[in-house]
Structures are given as C-alpha cells and as structure tokens.
Structure 1
Amino acid sequence: MSHDEPTGFLYPFIDAEEDLKDGATASLLADLAASAQAKASESLALRRSTLEANADLVNRAAIEMARRFEAGGRLFTFGNGGSCTDSTTLARLFARPPLNTPLPAWSLNDDPAIVTALGNDVGFELVFARQLIARARAGDIAVAMSTSGNSPNLLTALAEARQRGLYTIGFAGYDGGAFANNPNVDACFVVRSQSVHRIQESQALLGYQLWLAVHSHDQAVGAA
C-alpha cells in the first residue's frame, strides 16, 4: 500500500512495518492482538447479557410465532443497510434451516427489482409497507431489524403490519429508539450498546435463539 493512497490512513500499520525495527514491529503486532482480544471479549460479554435480558421476551415471542406458524402464518423480515443482510439471514434460517422443519419466511429485501421500483415510484419510506400490503395477511409475522430503531420506512411498515393483524417484532440497539414502547411493536428486542458492530453481532445471536425457541414451541403446539 502506497503512502500516497487516500485510504492509507485506515491501515497505517501496513506501511509502518516496513520502517519499524523488529522490536517495534513486535510491539505493534502485540497491540493489534490485544485490541482484537478486547473486542472479542466485549462482544462475548454483550451477547451474554443481551440473551439474559431478553430471555423472557424471546420465549413469549416464540410461543406466539409458533402458534401462528401452526395456523398457517408466514414470516416477513426487513431492514436497511447491514440490518438488511441480517434480516435476510434470519428469514433464510427459518426457511432453510440446518435442522428442524422449514417454515414459510421471506425477506422483503431480497428482490432488488421490487425494492428499487417502489423506492423510485412511491418513495423509500414505503418500500416495505407496500410489500406487506400486497403479500401479508392477518396471522402473519413481521420482523424489522435496525440498529437505531428509528428508521422511518421500518416504522411505517410496522404500523402497516400491526393494522393488518400481523404479530410485529423489532430488533434495535442503543435504548431501542422509536421501536421501544411503540404500540405497533408487539415485541422489541433491545441490544444496549453504542457500537453498531456489537449491536449487530448480538442481534444475530438473538435471531438464532428466537429460531431455536420457535421450533421448541412449534413441536409442542403440533403435539397438542
């Protein structure tokens, strides 16, 4: 990497190694390793505390989701940016699980033709709400994933979902944002962190825990 490249400031240690003596290089690498270990420890601690804080809510949400799946309900997930990929991962976990029975689940982010057409024709704030109008019905489930809990298009979609009789779930970070204590959000999972990276890591684990809990209750509902 050249010192003249505009992105060089992001990775100064790469060029620095060429000019450092062996002792300085070893110190730099030790600092990098310590930084990585500290981040891993921080992430682990947050994931543990998040699971503990949301354990009861995960169980209650899973019971309701299992009941709806058993009655023919379907799951729709959606989010923006990194939360878009997280919502797709969650939908695919339900639809194509590594074990247990597949359940009907779709990410509203998956079709770029639909998302861009709606964004262009009616506005980005409605890209998810309009899809729910077309596809969802009472008895379904809507999951909105966000780090802030304040995205206008997610809030609009949750309001539409609630009005249509869907069970609504929000994933948020920080203090929950507008998702928290919202009458349009039946269950709000909050990851109490100021780091987007740590929030999304914990949300991924929460989604996996929710999937496990749904299948546990789904088997109980099916056997009843």
Structure 2
Amino acid sequence: MSRKTGYKILDRYKEHGLEALSDRSRRPVRYANQLPEQIESLIVRLKAEKPHWGARKIRELLVRRLDGDIRVPGKSTIHAVLDRHGLVKRAGGPRHRARGTPLSAGTGPIDLWCADFKGEFKLGNGRYCYPLTVTDHASRFLLLCEALDSTREDTACTAFERLFRERGLPSAPTMACPLPVPMPCSISQSSRSGGSGSASPSNASSPAIRKSIPGS
C-alpha cells in the first residue's frame, strides 16, 4: 500500500481501535442524481390524491406545477419512487403457459405421421432449400419429401393439403394449426428449422392409402 493509505489506517486505528480496521461500506456519502426529499414527498402525495394515476400522468402534473423551476425527474424515476413506497400494484397469480397437446401412440399404418424440416442448405443459385419430410410412424414409410423455399406456415400447409388429398384426411388431430382451407386436419408449426410435428389420419382402411404402405 502507499504511505498515504498506511497513515490513514494508522490514524483510524488510533481514533477507533481495532473495529476501525474492518472493511467499510463502499456506498457513496451522497448520490449525484438523488431526488430531493421535497420532490419525492410531492410524488407520493400526488399518488395519494390520484391513486389511479401512473408515473406518466404524475410527471405531466409535476411539469405544470413546477413550471421549469426544478428539473422534473423522468417517468422511470417516478415509477421507482412509487415502487419504493409500495404504491405500485404488481400482477398477481401465475402466468399462463401454453402447453402442447400430448401425441398419441401410432400402433398401425397411417395412425401417426411424423413431419420434420431437415435443416436448410444453400442452392447453386444462392437461394435456400428447406426439405420437408413426412413419414409414417409405424412403418417408417416416407410419405412426402418436399423441397420448400421457406418454413412459412402457408407453404407447409399447401404441401400438407396435397399430401392429405393423396393419402387421406386425418380426423383426430394431435396438434392444432388450421389449414388455409376448411379441412378436418391439423399440423405442427413447431417444426421450423429442424423441429418435428405429427398428424393422425383416420381413414387408414381406405384402399388408396393401404397400397402405399408396404405389407398393408
């Protein structure tokens, strides 16, 4: 330590004993931007007079009353004062969290379809390709392999609409996402950039569908 610091500690010891050698608070003696007590009291009093007013309206009233004589604190500072005095109502109760629909177990052909975006890659013309694949959960049969130019909902829904017309219409949806046309089906849009979803068709016994599944 420097000589100046050494003498400061020695003088502190001579004045207050061993207790003076313990660490002291680093809190500043005064804050440069601390509000005067009169302004803080005025903010609290205005809030009591107007309990439904927030920091914005209280600040506007302060600007009119003080008329440029004193610098009016900002809205965030006024809100901090109200919060410090317990005058801010906080939203109570747990926040609602979205939950996905549990998937059913696919035990037979066409009971459950698995959709997946297989990442992305750049083509020779500089555009990106997003391969969308749909497979049957039970037989692992590939039902669709489509090269899409984006992962937008309308693009994916068009591919699923064509697939449903060729393979059958699902009637027991496992994830909610309406198609742009009125069809009793649903797909998952959580499959963006590598995610996966599923759809459950109902007419698995139709001849057109059974011919596309090996061993059916």
Name the TM-score, length of structure 2 as normaliser. 0.25
Greater radius of gyration (CA): 2
Greater share of residues in helix: 1
Name the TM-score, length of structure 1 as normaliser. 0.24
